[in-house]
Chain A
Amino acid sequence: MIRPILEVRQLSRRFAAVDALKAVDFSLEAGEVHALIGPNGAGKTTFIHHLSGALFPDSGSIHFAGEDVTRQPMHARVQRGMARSYQITNVFPALSALDNVVLAVQGRPDAGSSFRFWRPVTQEKALFETAAGYLAQVGLAAKIHTLAAALSHGEQRALELAMALATQPKVLLLDEPMAGTGPEESARMVELIEHLARHVTLLLVEHDMDAVFRLADRISVLVNGELICTGTPDTVRADPAVRRAYLGDHL
């Protein structure tokens, strides 16, 4: 029996008087696209923060590729192969799209140390070519020299994705990649994610239900910090607790 690539056991976190996460048990199978859904305020982004290392739990553990990463800082988890994209676009606005992705490529363990003090980065053609490759993958080939601030919202989300990809992750945590995108950009993003799913294990937090049901192999539902259901899209659709949580709306 193959162990899941990401395993979360009894993860709990309290903020002041609020239980943000209550003994969450969760597992992610290698190669799958797993969606995490739930009403607003359910704790989805908090959960992602704990997985990525931005926050640390009060109790419970997180295991990535067999290793206990619960107390490891963010950059260590990224180096082990867990990357994330942000719900609110978090790129470097004054840098070109290419420079943004080059930073991501440069930070990889296989790109060598960045404690280099003499050679100008602009001379490292390999970094720039690799970065351009990732930008092409997300459909930004024509805009590599555009300043990130000058890109459209959807293009910025794509840039986010390119940067996360450039770290060559085994697992990619996508926090609402379609947040704020219009129908056309959403459709493109869905295609992109489908393309990505062939290479990377994805954990996707999304509100866009059409996208979720189209993309996901499995879905988990988080309500008030508790994981109330995990299963295939059909299982989740039929589950009474889930229906109650959403008041029968979307499903």
Chain B
Amino acid sequence: MAFYQAPRWQKPVALIGLVALCLLPGLLQALDQSFYIGFATRVLIFALAASSLNLVLGFGGMVSLGHAAFLGAGAYTAALCQQAGINEALIALPLAMAAAGLFAALVGLISLRTRGVYFIMITLAFAQMAYYLFVSARSWGGDDGLPLQGRMTLAGHALADDQTLYFAALGALTVAMLLFARLAQARFGRTVQAIRENETRMAALGYPVFRYRLVTFALGGAVAGLAGALLANLTGLASPNLLQWTQSGTLLVMVIIGGVGSLFGGVAGAAVLLGLEEVLVGVTEHWHLLLGGLLLAIVLFAPKGIAALFARRGAAS
């Protein structure tokens, strides 16, 4: 393992990608395919969620199987904000991040004292616990979830407009990726990577290892909460199904397909998985079989995921 270093082609490619994404809604409208703006927004939101998991998993080396709980926490916070009369996204979104981040910190406080298989199962169990909590909470919608009465406004702009929500999601994703890229090369990033490689050594060098892991875990949770709040706006519902472990599994699959630990792994994985879903659904109603087969193939033959396939062709490591 070498320290993360952005390959030379990353900045130009990312810039081109960003420009393309900015032009996409206009293009879709021109092609009379405005329906797909919603789909694209969904991809952006899951790219954000998957990237937040990538921080915890790929970067921090913590295999968390309960990350969807933080996605759900963000969604519910957004819905509850609206119930409380807060319709301004500039307040609701940070609140969602704070709530999800706090929840993640609490889960991390207990889970991070364990390792390996235990850690994986405990994060899973906590997420499931949160799921049951929301399902049983009748005042929060229970089984059916908590609906949003229309979308929020972002500094005056109504997110009810599909294009506005799209750009809000794009903005959130861009800022997050920028932050992750800087963080990876800063002191925090080096420390977290070194801890992932050899935590005893880092403790022997005076680093409070637990603290760094906890911060990484909480940060990942907070960003997932942001994605959740955006998702609630998109779908109009904060559903307890968002917290189910199958949702966590989906996020995990996205990260693995996209490339664990590479900066854009979450983005690539979300795009591929959701795109695949869209395509396969048209092919057969039993597309889960195909997806399962594909995942097995990836595990057995391309273990580092898609982004790594590109990295091999790319710059120095």
Contacts and interface: CB of A to CB of B under 8 A. Distances in A.
Direct contact of A and B (CB under 8 A): yes
Contacts, number: 91
Interface string B167-186: 00000000000010011011
Contacts of B186: 116-121
A7 interface: no
Contacts of B179: 117
A84 B188 contact: no
Interface in A147-171: 163, 167
A117 B204 contact: no
A95 B207 contact: no
B250 to A, nearest CB: 28
B201 A90 contact: yes
B274 interface: no
B206 A92 contact: no
Contacts of A54: 200
A195 to B, nearest CB: 22
B36 interface: no
Interface string B63-102: 0000000000000000000000000000000000000000
B185 A114 contact: no
Interface residues of A, number: 36
A217 B155 CA distance: 73
Contact of B206 (A86, A91, A107, A118): A107
Interface stretch (B129-137, B189-197, B297-305): B189-197
A21 interface: no
B205 interface: yes
A167 to B, nearest CB: 6
Contacts of A163: 205
Contacts of A121: 185-187, 190
Interface string A114-129: 1111111110000000
A31 B2 CA distance: 38
A198 interface: no
Given A94-B2, A118-B186, A75 B191 contact: no
Nearest to B180: A117
A197 interface: no
B186 to A, nearest CB: 5
A124 to B, nearest CB: 8
Contacts of B3: 95, 99
Interface string B200-230: 1111111111001001000000000000000
Given A103-B190, A116-B188, A117-B186, A75 B201 contact: no
Contacts of A94: 1-2, 197
A198 B179 CA distance: 45
Q: Is the interface of B mostly helix, strand, loop or mixed?
A: helix
B191 A106 contact: yes
A62 to B, nearest CB: 16
Contacts of B198: 90, 92
A54 B204 CA distance: 9
Interface in A33-89: 52-54, 73-76, 78-79, 83-84, 86
A73 B190 contact: no
Given A92-B197, A117-B179, A73 B203 contact: yes
Contacts of A114: 187-188, 190-191, 207, 212
A49 to B, nearest CB: 11
Contacts of B183: 117-118
Contacts of A106: 187, 190-191
Contacts of B182: 117-118, 120
A148 to B, nearest CB: 11
Contact of B205 (A53, A78, A119, A120): A78
B27 to A, nearest CB: 35
A54 B203 CA distance: 9
Most buried by A among B179, B185, B203, B206: B206
A118 B180 CA distance: 9
A119 B188 CA distance: 10
Contacts of B190: 103, 106, 114, 121
B205 A167 contact: yes
Most chain A Cβ neighbours within 10 Å, of B185, B194, B204, B207: B204
Closest 5 CB pairs of A and B: A78-B206, A120-B185, A114-B187, A116-B187, A107-B206
5 contacts: A86-B204, A115-B188, A116-B188, A117-B182, A117-B183
Given A106-B187, A114-B191, 20 more contacts: A53-B203, A54-B200, A75-B204, A75-B206, A90-B201, A92-B1, A94-B197, A103-B190, A104-B205, A106-B191, A107-B206, A114-B212, A117-B183, A118-B182, A118-B186, A119-B186, A120-B185, A121-B190, A167-B205, A167-B206
Interface of A: 52-54, 73-76, 78-79, 83-84, 86, 90-92, 94-95, 99, 103-104, 106-109, 113-122, 163, 167
